[in-house]
Chain A
């Protein structure tokens, strides 16, 4: 692996599979022996969150602590960040504090790359979600979950049919997932109204559909994306009711899924909008697995970037 994880494009098929295998090994190690490994003892990891995200932050925090790293949480609220301190000054501060790794969540696309490229600090940068660009560890945990459930935890995702449904336009989860799932051989279809698909999406080399009901029973995985209610105000769709009717995973659509199909959601869910309660809680749902696997995958990322294995 390179020094940073900014985008799925920092990985290739081999390094992505190695990362998933590492996560699987860490799962076995923490299940059979002690919960905490000494691997990153003495290393400092900073969770730098310019945007609220309790679940991603605690997932990274748990991952770092299980590897015995010291964790500092640096969040925008109640810190100098909310007083207009620049990314540069924050980076210089982190450098002075000796951060070995910085996990960054930022509302501006590309902010993690700026942090990595500008040499303001020397530690590894891990993108924990930047604007509407990417969220690579989310894609990795999704791939891990699919592989664990449908491929016995081994190999790639060749031939697995994945539908990603909802607000693709504003979704960093979708961007990272498209890159990673395709890299691992999966067959990806994006399903959304045309207003919520990015311009030139046809160049992504994936299936595109405006109709959730078409081919519904052919998918092995249905990944629902969060739809923000303010998108309605911006006229991306006319009403919540119309959105839910056309693109929500409801009980009728749930009943048409393949027997062993997986229902996924990166959270937090809008129950009743993009996903109904019975779909979210059904036997198809692997949403709690995603959360659990998130810690494992993030442990693997921190381990591979910071333990010195790459050199």
Chain B
């Protein structure tokens, strides 16, 4: 006996009315035997969002977040798939660890958790991890990254790019020249100089991206650039794409909205890596997302317990929450400014990341596909406050943001509801 639900009085992102039918967890065009009707007046249908860059902290840092609380935060933000970065303890550099993370995500069943494997053992940048074993595991890893650390060795980067070609894998680089950023705290510029905080120069990101696009070109492999933060990086990626190099790039919601002047408070809630940059950088990132030079928005959701932020700037941890606010912040930065349409924004937060990451069950609303979607209210505002995350390092706290996620569905099952 199949279970069939019809969602009526919906709108799509172009404002057209529609209804959808979900049968046994799949989108369906079945016209008969609808058992349940959900009246969705006022709500807009979007495919479940897909995050390519998430820190879930489990195993090892469960005081900050767990796979369960991170999944709940993801669902509250309209996400149905997240990509768990490997900088856990132990580091996700073996088939055993990635399978465990993947399975815990499935057991909780609130959001699909796709681990990202470490490129090198312990993410130390010295020796390749067992990449094929992680790929062949039940987790089926295809994206590898030493996120948090830059893979700065040119020869290891070359080898990694070559090695993942055998299964159409992707190397996701955290672009940060380590020598140029020892103890770096904030964007290097007039504000860092005045505040006496050690600068993190744009060139430290741009030099690595320039090298890596050339390496990707040389070995004809796929490179993904994590959290692009500077106008110069955008120029290099634009050049690389024009040359036909297989490079994709992500930007975080916070780099699309927040600027470095916030650090004047010395409040470490604004401490993040890469750091908040200038207004000029923010504008370049917005235009790059609008024209497709930057492919996707990724949260870099980075929860930290309160004591890692309630301290002096230099002693505080890098990172901000992102899952619960990503859609709203991105709307504020990109749609409220009329740079892109709601439909194009959702493409860059859902279909496009699903395509790059190879998450075939996500990013599309089409008959026969798993019913991974969210219902959002584009007319409502809310005041930012983390509800589901175990941590509270929300840089938008108290800020009024557009768009409320009303409900999220994973394979047809309601996993989040705004009112319940």
- By a beta-carbon cutoff of 8 Å, the part of chain A in contact with chain B is 86-88, 106-111, 113-114, 117-118, 130-134, 172, 175, 198-201, 203
Contacts and interface: CB of A to CB of B under 8 A. Distances in A.
B33 interface: no
Contacts of B189: 199-200
Contact of A109 (B188, B267, B313): B313
Interface residues of B, number: 22
Contacts of A130: 196
Nearest to B182: A234
Interface in B263-305: 265-267
B307 interface: yes
Given A111-B312, A200-B193, 16 more contacts: A86-B310, A86-B311, A87-B311, A88-B310, A88-B311, A108-B315, A110-B312, A110-B313, A113-B265, A114-B313, A133-B196, A175-B196, A198-B192, A199-B192, A199-B193, A199-B199
Contact of A113 (B192, B194, B266): B266
B214 interface: no
Contacts of B194: 175
The 10 A-B pairs at the shortest CB distance, nearest first, are namely: A110-B266, A133-B196, A198-B193, A132-B196, A108-B312, A200-B190, A109-B196, A108-B314, A111-B312, A203-B190
Contacts of B193: 198-201
Contact of B313 (A88, A108, A175, A200): A108
Contacts of A113: 265-266
A172 B196 contact: yes
6 contacts: A106-B312, A109-B266, A110-B313, A114-B266, A131-B196, A200-B193
Contacts of A117: 265-267
Contacts of A203: 190
Interface string B182-201: 00000011101111111101
Q: Which of A86, A108, A110, A203: most chain B Cβ within 10 A? A: A110
Interface in B347-405: none
B292 to A, nearest CB: 32
Q: Which of B188, B192, B196: most chain A Cβ within 10 A? A: B196
A251 B201 CA distance: 39
Contacts of B266: 109-111, 113-114, 117
A199 B198 CA distance: 10
A76 B410 CA distance: 53
A113 B194 CA distance: 14
Contacts of A106: 312
A107 B197 CA distance: 11
Contacts of A109: 195-197, 266, 313-314
